[in-house]
Amino acid sequence: MKKSSAWWIRIPVIFFIVLGLTEYFIDSGPLPAIMTYLEVGYFMLFILLLLIGIELIINSIENVMFHTLSEEAQERYLLAQKKAWEWPWAKDMMRKLWGTKPMAEEGEIILDHNYDGIQELDNKLPPWWTYLFYATIIFAVVYLARYHIFNGENQIEEYEQEVAEAQIAIEAYKKTAKDLVDANTVELLTDAADIKAGEAIFQANCVACHMSDGGGGIGPNLTDDYWILGGGIKNVFHTVSEGGRAGKGMIAWKQSLKPQEIAQVSSYVLSLHGITPANPKAPEGDLWKE
Ligand code: HEC
């Protein structure tokens, strides 16, 4: 029986074909199926064991059959098998790329000097080397034409272009991801919709201590010009997000409100500035000027 390939080629090839097919047919999102589903791992392990099992069975059948052969047939079988292990195509390719002369033909290329028994072969340059050399020449011509005659983009220009594209992408992303704001980047919101949303959040969470008109109770008056923790959208955002001084009762609202909501309620608080609350609490803190 003549084998066309060795087991160490057959097993991995079949294994990876099966793996490839499984990955192709099982939709597992961005991660490979074998990492997403445990069953796929078990399945592939099963396939591997199955392949090894088949190889073992084939091997033992061959073994048994071998012993039934006559001595002469056994010898022929062994010879055929040895041949099957050789890979004529690769061998041929190798010989062509290295261009070495077989030892038996070295006499043709030996140079006729002889220094104390040391002789020299006039080997040609190995073809793989010359091909590589020709490839660099072709590359150089294309490169020269592209960058020095037709003024292709150089790396600095490519870099700047990519940065500009990324900047646009960041802007677009920021528009959709409003929750990216923090105390450093927040801007006062003036949209009626934002102020209205801020009012709803204020009425739901803050009136117990600041009163519904912001006049103050347990918490300070939010409508006057005096701020304990600093006025302006950035400070107010920071106070609402991180809370007041320890033990005063103003908690860190970032636990329960999203950044965008904090921006809305902070903007609402600042929109209360200057109104006259029903029961204004006396000013606390320092006079704040923008
Ligand atoms: C449990 C009571 C309580 C609740 C509820 C509460 N606060 Fe406060 N708030 C306080 C207290 C007390 C202070 C003063 C903190 C300090 O002195 O450090 C304060 C301070 C503030 C300040 C800073 C005032 C300044 O003068 O610097 C802002 C702004 C503020 N609160 C907004 C809010 C908003 C918005 C909410 C709702 C999301 C809210 N608070 C809910 C009690 C509360």
- Domain limits of the chain? 7-86, 192-287
Rounded CA separation 164/162 (Å): 5
Q: Residue of the nearest CA to atom 34 in ligand 1?
A: 206
How close is the Cα of 234 to the center of ligand 1, in Å?
15
In a 10 Å sphere around its CB, with 0-12 CB exposed, 13-18 middle and 19+ buried, how is residue 164 labelled? exposed
Mean pLDDT of 272-288: 91
Nearest residue to 223 (alpha-carbon basis) of 243, 245, 206, 241? 206
Please tell me the residue having the least CA distance from ligand 1 atom 30: 240
CA distance 180 to 217: 32
Atom of ligand 1 nearest to the CA of 236: 29
Name all residues whose Cβ lies below 6 A of ligand 1: 202, 205-206, 208-210, 218-220, 222, 227-229, 236, 239-240, 244-245, 248-250, 253, 265, 269, 285
Architecture field, domain 192-287: Orthogonal Bundle (1.10)
Distance CA 270, CA 54 (A): 78
Digit-coded pLDDT (tens) for 1-20: 445 577 888 899 999 999 99
What's the pLDDT score for residue 28? 82
For a pocket test of ligand 1, which of 210, 218, 288 has the largest count of ligand atoms closer than 8 A to its C-beta?
210
pLDDT, tens digit (0-9, with 9 covering 90-100), for 30-86: 888 888 888 999 999 999 999 999 999 998 998 898 889 888 988 888 888 777 667
Distance 250 CA to ligand 1 centre (A): 5
Q: What's the CA-to-centroid distance between 219 and ligand 1, angstroms?
A: 5
pLDDT, tens only, 190-200: 999 999 999 99
Average pLDDT over residues 148-162: 89
pTM (2 decimals)?
0.53
